[in-house]
Structure 1
């Protein structure tokens, strides 16, 4: 119980630190979103008054008092789910814009991350168990894909599978000409078809790292005394491989998986840019390119909280998988 309480307290403090940094960083950056809107309004001949500037400042989530008062107002707005107004999508709220992009990223990056982790751990377990096999010799090929720059691999797949062979579309999240978004088989099939190539890029780029790490941990674990004892007791090889070897060898990979799972919400900016995929990565790129501070602040907050939440869940599961961590707490 003490172990879980310590973890919860630690992550509560970490969430407070993330929220505070999320408040400070945009205010320390040069530029002002209010000035950007006013310059656009002035270009159209609109008359700008001090009242106009003040109204825009309040609407975009800014404050006019001291930083302490702004911080209190920020926490109050955050508690009520108000992250301000997006400059790029004005007058849409930041929560609305993020809510529209978030499901796309979770569906694409989340599914691809889980597939690459499960596939890499499974293949790494088999390669470590049967050292010197063809699967073990295949690891350098898989790690080669991990060493290839993300954008280069994505561009190669676009060239081969959308231009040369023409099996998949090269951009977008679904067929906007013939499909209406919604929970229908037609839309889900179109989204799956358009998302296959970006997902393939992510899987090819990441499966090699999971496979190599699991293979090396399996080799190290198989030399432990408890494995020799299990073999001497005459246990089935499948039970030794899964219950004794793989269960302990996978523990270091879980921490890495927690970080990867948390960054699912961040999306893969490069991949979404190459394929023009309507996810969080594309949204963040648009916000940075247009100095949309409110949207950047909202995206960074969602990313921070998702990483912390994923790490908390995995830390709690870690205590269930490995009782030694609870004993050391």
Structure 2
């Protein structure tokens, strides 16, 4: 029953998000058809028939009211038709997303997992051994977290890529010497091009995980059940992991799930600075070109990912902390 209520809540949230996703781009000034016709008019005159065909293609037909457009939009979603992108015309939106999302999942997803695991592990040790060398890392990592992404990215590009030449300046892989595929050369090129953007994300975000876990560990260590476990003569490692860290990590798990949901959104600034071919870059291009279809498709994918991540963590939370099931 608890699981059904959770699923029902997230289905309602998904419907609300889909509805807002439909309405918001249409309430903004501008029109994707006008944007595309402006580009096409540079190559010659545009006929009225072409404008009519483009209106039908992008779902902006003035002969249809808002409700008819909404029904057509939902019907398109059910059949996997997100429309055609103005920015990458005539490529369908679903193809644009399909090409960009593996890059974002590989870069931002892996970087988020690494930052979270390192931060939680170091935070656990720092809270358990207060006053040791790990505690001295916290002020530095906190300062790095407050540094803007783009500024840190530019610094790393200048020193590690431009001056030392250790990493490429931009891009997702070497387009001149490798072809996309499962070959060793291509995978090695992707790793080499993605290391610097990933390093930027890890350095910028590890401080939050470390500080949050450290503070929760310090708070948990003052609880009675930890003192009881120590009085029983249990090993320090068992007390730290089984009794202290297991309870202290609960808020971090919630934050981690939300972060994983937003992984699909990409890292807008990082991807733009490094010209990385991910979701963030595509989203910025869609906004700058009033690309309704692409914006809607990207927002929908991001929304579904965030809701799915929250649903998974709600279910997982019940196994880690049975008290949540009893309260439900």
**Shorter-chain TM-score: which interval?**
over 0.9
SS of structure 2 residue aligned to 1:134: coil
Instruction: Note if contact 1:83-1:298 (Cα within 8 Å) is conserved in structure 2.
Output: yes
After superposition, the C-alpha distances for 1:200-255 in whole angstroms (9 at most, x for unaligned) are 00000000100000000000000001111111111111111111110100101111
Match of 1:102 in 2: 101
1:83: Cα distance to partner?
0.5
Instruction: Note if contact 2:32-2:289 (Cα within 8 Å) is conserved in structure 1.
Output: no
Match of 1:262 in 2: 261
Match of 1:310 in 2: 309
Match of 2:82 in 1: 83
Match of 1:67 in 2: 66
For 1:103 and 1:20, how far apart are their aligned partners in 2? 27
For 1:65 and 1:58, how far apart are their aligned partners in 2? 10
Q: Which segment drifts farther, 246-255 or 36-45?
A: 36-45
1:38: Cα distance to partner?
2.5
For 1:220 and 1:271, how far apart are their aligned partners in 2? 35
Instruction: Note if contact 2:59-2:69 (Cα within 8 Å) is conserved in structure 1.
Output: no
Q: Which segment drifts farther, 63-72 or 206-215?
A: 63-72
Unaligned 5+ residue runs, structure 1? none
Instruction: Note if contact 1:61-1:83 (Cα within 8 Å) is conserved in structure 2.
Output: no
SS of structure 2 residue aligned to 1:90: coil
Structure 1 stretches of 4+ moved >6 Å: none
Match of 1:240 in 2: 239
Match of 1:216 in 2: 215
For 2:243 and 2:307, how far apart are their aligned partners in 1? 30
Match of 2:37 in 1: 38
For 1:234 and 1:6, how far apart are their aligned partners in 2? 43
Aligned length: 327
For 2:163 and 2:237, how far apart are their aligned partners in 1? 44
The residue correspondences of 1:1-329 to structure 2 (distance < 5 A) are: 2-49=1-48, 51-63=49-61, 64-329=63-328
Distance 1:175 1:41, change over 3 A: closer
SS of structure 2 residue aligned to 1:163: helix
Instruction: Note if contact 1:38-1:48 (Cα within 8 Å) is conserved in structure 2.
Output: no
Q: Which segment drifts farther, 203-212 or 307-316?
A: 307-316
For 2:23 and 2:289, how far apart are their aligned partners in 1? 19
1:144: Cα distance to partner?
1.1
For 1:138 and 1:53, how far apart are their aligned partners in 2? 60
For 1:40 and 1:265, how far apart are their aligned partners in 2? 30
Q: Which segment drifts farther, 212-221 or 32-41?
A: 32-41
Instruction: Note if contact 2:153-2:273 (Cα within 8 Å) is conserved in structure 1.
Output: yes
Q: Which segment drifts farther, 59-68 or 236-245?
A: 59-68
Distance 1:158 1:47, change over 3 A: closer
1:265: Cα distance to partner?
0.6
Q: CA RMSD in A?
A: 1.1
Unaligned 5+ residue runs, structure 2? none
1:153: Cα distance to partner?
0.5
1:45: Cα distance to partner?
3.1
For 1:241 and 1:38, how far apart are their aligned partners in 2? 64
Q: Which segment drifts farther, 185-194 or 288-297?
A: 288-297
Q: TM-score, normalised by structure 2?
A: 0.97
1:47: Cα distance to partner?
4.3
Instruction: Note if contact 1:125-1:246 (Cα within 8 Å) is conserved in structure 2.
Output: yes
After superposition, the C-alpha distances for 1:79-111 in whole angstroms (9 at most, x for unaligned) are 000000000111110000111010000000000
SS of structure 2 residue aligned to 1:273: helix
1:19: Cα distance to partner?
0.6
1:43: Cα distance to partner?
3.7
1:185: Cα distance to partner?
1.1
